[in-house]
Amino acid sequence: MNRQALKIAMAGGLLISSALAAQPLKDLQDRLAAMRSDQPIRVKVDVEIQHKGTAPLHLNSAKQRGRVIIEAGPWGVKAWEQKRADSTSRFSFWRSKKETDPDPLIDDIDVQALIDPAGWIGSLLNESDLVDDQMATWEGQEARLLLIRPSDLPAELAASREGEPKPAVVEAKIWLGADGLPLALERTGELRLPGLTMTQYQTFTFQQVGGRLLVARSTETASGTALVVLRGSDVKKVKVTVD
């Protein structure tokens, strides 16, 4: 085989390989699109949030628990807090204590994500490349595991110097059941820059109700350090039950 023929064969092989790699994501997107619905549904969402922050001569912590009711249908999505309990602890040598209104237990983005995970997972897949596709298990049952990473992560964040970790790591794992739909999803994000580190870890499990996909449970953990002495961490747990 001459050099030109070899180049053509290699190019063809790469194209075929790329198409095969992308196909599982396209299949999943199609399945997710069929699991979106505007039929009326009402769910209750139990939320637990913990926050800790430290700095020189400064310490604060907060806990929030509550329940949010979400109703969705052809008219859109409506949510309201049904009950709530907050507790805070704060000491600061350099800042006076000031009462502020508490943040909502879940914001509009969270509400939409819980009631329509098929939508945001589809968008995530559209912006990602498939890195690995293998058989695995999830909570004792056979599953298919997809590993994806962003398609457009800036080069300065994706590359690392010799002997040093990459400045940024962003990836997601998706476990698929026998029907090809998500059982669970884990998303990890790490950012390491001079004077700043941030980590975010999210887990989701899903449920199917009336032909639509809903979040069943989620946990989000976020932590960060700035200038070595400024530290903070947040943990948010959510449970969704069809009312």
Structural domain contains residue 142: yes
The alpha carbon dihedral of 21, 27, 33, 36 has a sign of negative
Q: What is the CATH number of the domain that holds 126?
A: 2.30.230
Structural domain contains residue 4: no
Minimum mean pLDDT among 87-96, 98-107, 180-189: which range? 87-96
Lookup: tokens for 72: 């969705």
Structural domain contains residue 160: yes
Residue 128 has pLDDT above 80, yes or no: yes
Average pLDDT over residues 104-108: 89
Per the structure, the complete domain to which residue 129 belongs is given by: 24-242
Residue 237 has pLDDT above 70, yes or no: yes
- Give 135-149 pLDDT, tens digit per residue: 999 999 999 999 999
Residue 4 has pLDDT above 50, yes or no: no
| 100 band by pLDDT with thresholds 50, 70 and 90 | low
**pTM as predicted:** 0.78
Q: For the chain, what is the domain count?
A: 1
Structural domain contains residue 149: yes
Structural domain contains residue 179: yes
CA geometry: angle 76, 77, 82, nearest 5 deg: 150
Buried b (16+ CB within 10 A) or exposed e, 154-182: eeebeeeeeeeeebbbbbbbbbbbeeebb
Name the residue among 158, 151, 226 with its Cα closest to residue 195: 226
Average pLDDT over residues 169-183: 93
Cα(136)–Cα(104) distance, integer angstroms: 38
Structural domain contains residue 16: no
Q: How many CA atoms lie within 13 A of 243 on its CB side?
A: 14
pLDDT computed for residue 206 by the predictor? 98
Structural domain contains residue 96: yes
- Give 17-68 pLDDT, tens digit per residue: 343 345 889 999 999 999 999 999 999 999 999 887 665 544 567 889 999 9
Cα(115)–Cα(214) distance, integer angstroms: 5
Structural domain contains residue 73: yes
| 229 band by pLDDT with thresholds 50, 70 and 90 | low
For residues 100 and 68, is the Cβ–Cβ distance under 8 A?
no
